[in-house]
Structure 1
């Protein structure tokens, strides 16, 4: 059997006829249920659903029984109500049992298709426009993100925490040494977190302003995008310095753990999923281009509140998403690249959930907004 005959034994393509402008002239419908047909399957023009139903029914040799008079309607909406009448309809319109391939033949067909893909060589690379977009985003990231945190300065004084004890009727005496010598149970990370948040927010704002598509938007839309995406982008950037083995964020001379977040006042309902998110994202071993494209996808979201030029932003986000998908397909080696795009979309969904909980907890941490006006503006 030839390669072509093996590939087309069960199905053959059925392209829809096109008009002079490329529009569909006529939509093909399934001869069994009336749903949109995808091609000729087992000798009859059918949809994917009826194709799969016919194959499974014949291969399993099941005898279906109609509870009525074998005259049940078989439509897109009702095709699952009576399997007996649906199978009979398949046979009545001419679907052929002898065209159903064995499992061995199907495996052979898949192997031959894989060989053909290898013979064609690697797929075409990124378009010039996509490569230009990546170059712009990487340059913006490198100019604005300080991975060594060398420019980060801790401004706020240390805060001593008095932890009540049954044996102690007065606060414990403060040690004479500097704040760094204070034990964790009497030292609050809240002021440090306030400065770190402000520092990272400033970097995100600078990153956005480096992107030409962002600068062309009205100032109100720029503010709406930053308010909606900054906290998420901070986490994506923070992941680049995350060490999955030690479960710590290594920021030059500073090193942070999830326990530091607890000392700043955050609750485990936020901290535990946050740590899980960073571990999952780090394991994907993203390239720099993939990190910056993720940041741009979150920044240019038409779903952010207060956006006016929604269509413009939506079109640019789609361009970013397609570029990310193309980059993964052409530049991220297997097996890491397999299903990577889908995994990233799931993690972005988790990140949005984390942002909601993060915002809720920030609003309930005492005095945080007064310490960080910029953070307060972002979450307002």
Structure 2
């Protein structure tokens, strides 16, 4: 033991002599914090603690990365450090790990300050800012897979939804006077709503065309026969607009079913999950469809040959505690001025909701929805240039949430209307039924 102690003392003396030669370099120089190896006067930038290459000023002293990290760790742990010798160790690049106590004392002696150490939260916040800055500098682009998803949705939408609304003239007539329509147009800022979405289908369309039997192709849609029209003309109705909205809603439901059946992700699901998703999302997708026709200046839905206003929906039996939130929804969504790509992605996100009643394979549907939501977010970041684009994605998601509450109220009101005037079609009743 005595021999070892003598050997250690000799080594300490030898290192002390070596450090005396280096000390002028260690204790001199004032760097600017950059990573260059020399100062303006060509003196090397070295760590004031151990003599290694300095990377700048850290905690008020010019140090290397090793001593910077050591000082931070030492200040955060409560353990007391003690020197196995006589607190006279000379700290160099090669032996700086051997005596933590003397190394820490050297850190203090060169001017390093505990109070300059950032907290863990502050460090994480700074890292996030750096990451965010890098992301802003790098242009966001859609991946080939995301491009393919958007293209499939656009193709399905254009194939199954007629933006000209040419079929709307085949529905039973909308019973109203011209005064009612002109009044709608004069009040663009009032809470007014009209719209095929919340309106009812025809009783002539049999249950054979419900969700589980509709093919991906367009349905052959047969409207009311002249005999039935004549019968209804003689029958007094409480809700005079209901026959028209019955035909319209049935037509729109079939479009939604055909849109869904065209999608690869949807066809890959089991039939029970397909039915559950359609039951949950049909009303919401129809809402999104009709927002494309909404004129936020006049408050009227301009659907080709037909125009709808809030009074039309009221004459179909719907009440204000559904219509007022729905009107606000349409104003809010329309003022975002969404592109067709954003509309179809919004429809698909609504469709693939894993929390719909009756869904069995939640994880698969959840992954699909996550993919669609990320695609929408990336599309907005990549394709839009206006400063407020960062708020667009959360606004769209908020609209999707709002539709869920309206969906429940819509179902309640349809069932009440059916009790008063049994003209709701079997297809709509199948959609809103609770059983899967």
Using structure 2 for the length normalisation, give the TM-score.
0.55
Residue of 351, 364, 374 corresponding to 1:299: 351
1:158-216 per-residue CA deviation (whole Å, 9 max, x = no partner) reads 779xxxxxxxxxxxxxxxxx9xxxxxx99711111111111111111111011011111
How many residue pairs match? The answer is 268
Tell me, in whole angstroms, the C-alpha distance in 1 between the residues paired with 2:346 and 2:141. 20
Q: Name the SS of the counterpart of 1:304 in structure 2.
A: coil
> Which residue number in structure 1 is paired with residue 430 of structure 2?
377
Q: Name the SS of the counterpart of 1:223 in structure 2.
A: helix
Which runs of no fewer than 5 residues in structure 1 stay unpaired? Answer: 10-27, 33-39, 53-109, 161-177, 179-184
Bigger RCO of structures 1 and 2 (CA < 8 A, at least 6 apart): 2
Q: Are residues 1:353 and 2:369 paired? A: no
Residue of 126, 135, 140 corresponding to 1:124: 140
The structure with more radius of gyration = 2
Contact 1:41 1:51 in 2 (8 A): no
Structure having the higher helix fraction is 2
Residue of 23, 43, 61 corresponding to 2:117: 43
Could you tell me how far 1:263 is from its partner in structure 2? Answer: 1.1
Tell me, in whole angstroms, the C-alpha distance in 1 between the residues paired with 2:395 and 2:115. 33
Q: Are residues 1:207 and 2:222 paired? A: no
> Which residue number in structure 2 is paired with residue 331 of structure 1?
383
Q: Are residues 1:241 and 2:257 paired? A: no
Contact 1:153 1:195 in 2 (8 A): no
Q: CA RMSD in A?
A: 3.6
Could you tell me how far 1:337 is from its partner in structure 2? Answer: 1.2
Matches within 5 A, 1:24-103: 43-47=117-121
Q: Are residues 1:147 and 2:163 paired? A: yes
Assess, with a 3 A threshold, how the Cα gap between structure 1 residues 359 and 41 changes in structure 2: closer, same or farther.
Answer: farther
Which runs of no fewer than 5 residues in structure 2 stay unpaired? Answer: 1-31, 36-54, 60-72, 78-113, 177-229, 231-236
Q: Name the SS of the counterpart of 2:395 in structure 1.
A: helix
Assess, with a 3 A threshold, how the Cα gap between structure 1 residues 134 and 42 changes in structure 2: closer, same or farther.
Answer: farther
Contact 2:273 2:361 in 1 (8 A): yes
Could you tell me how far 1:292 is from its partner in structure 2? Answer: 0.4
